[in-house]
Amino acid sequence: MGLNDLAYFLAHNTDAAAAPVVFIHGAGGSHNVWRRQFDLLPDRPTYFLDLPGHGQTAGPAFADIADSGRWLNRWLTETAAKPAVLVGHSMGGAIAQWMALHAPEAVQAIVLVTTGARLKVNPAFLEQLEQGAFDAEQMRMAFSPHTPEAIVREEIAHWQNGAPAEVIYSDFSACNRFDVRGDIRRIACPALIIAGEDDRMTPPAYSAYMAEQIPDARLVILQQTGHYPMLEQTERFNEALKSFIEQLDR
């Protein structure tokens, strides 16, 4: 599969002079998880990717974060043509960290959303996925108890109609093998780290660790928020993201 087979939603014109912003979804997801950010940054090129095997991009899905990172680096070189701001959710945040470490020339800054330098996955959950026994209702635990039911149901519906179980298993297996704790101090670009106070999948301690290790990092912990702050607390998430990106332009 070539780079031209990668599907993405371009929110705004590539002719804008500002650095592009590239949104990278998490395990089992698609660009649709960023639906409340589509119109957030009207003055710059803004890309919302479907990684291979996800959404509208053909598969197979990559089995390793490094493979996803290498793919993204090639796509950025061919498409964006200038250093980008990478906004990565969960597994997407792992890919953004890999890029900052291994392709720093392609990265202006990173935004790490409910992710970690190590993404260990519950072995029982991995075994369920391997057996094809994934139930999208399990994703309810990813949300804060304060999140309105309508938001929870909406995202569960996307999971029910999203990636097949084998892709979800591949993604979470890749996350489980990801570990850059020995390298994260070498990330030299600015970083915004956004955590959810009620996140049980990647607890706030994961984000606090990254903020301590990355030299130029800012940590924002959103209250009454789980693993999906871009959906659960859209206004506060968007404010933090937009403010960070505007500061990069100064």
Model confidence pLDDT, tens digit, residues 118-129: 999 999 889 988
- Say whether pLDDT at 6 is over 80: no
pTM: 0.95
Q: Which residues pair with 87 in a beta bridge?
A: 23, 111
- In this predicted model, what pLDDT tens digit does every residue of 127-186 receive, in sequence order? 988 898 888 888 999 999 999 999 999 999 988 888 888 899 999 999 999 999 999 999
pLDDT score of 2 more than 70 = no
Check residues 1 and 243 and name the one with the higher pLDDT.
243
Does the CA dihedral 71-211-145-23 come out positive or negative?
Answer: negative
Rg (CA), the chain: 16
Q: Distances in Å between the alpha carbon of 223 and those of 192, 204, 220, 236? A: 17, 11, 10, 10
Q: What is the pLDDT of residues 191-248, one digit of tens each?
A: 999 999 999 999 999 999 999 999 999 999 999 999 999 999 999 999 999 999 999 9
Q: What is the average per-residue pLDDT within 14-33?
A: 90
pLDDT value, residue 5: 56
Omega into 145 within 30° of 0, i.e. cis? Answer: no
More reliable by pLDDT, 14 or 215: 215
- Indicate if the pLDDT at residue 4 is higher than 70: no
- Asked if 61 and 33 touch (Cβ cutoff 8 Å), the reply is no
Give the start-to-end residue ranges of the domains of the chain: 3-248
Quote the CA–CA distance of 113 and 87 in Å, as a whole number. 7
Domain 3-248 indexed as CATH 3.40.50.1820: yes
Mean pLDDT on 2-22 = 73
Residues 6+ apart with CB under 8 A from 182: none
**Per-residue confidence band for 13, with pLDDT thresholds at 50, 70 and 90:** confident
Q: What 3-state class would DSSP assign to 191? A: strand
List the 217-222 sheet strands across, edge first: 7-10, 46-50, 21-24, 84-89, 107-113, 191-196, 217-222
pLDDT of residue 1: 40
At 98, the amino acid letter reads W
Return the structure tokens found at 238: 């968007």
Q: Any bridge partners for residue 48, and if so which? A: 9, 23
Burial class (CB in 10 A: 0-12, 13-18, 19+), 103: middle
21-30 mean pLDDT: 96
Answer yes or no: is pLDDT of 81 > 80: no
Least confidently predicted of 13-17, 54-58, 126-130: 13-17
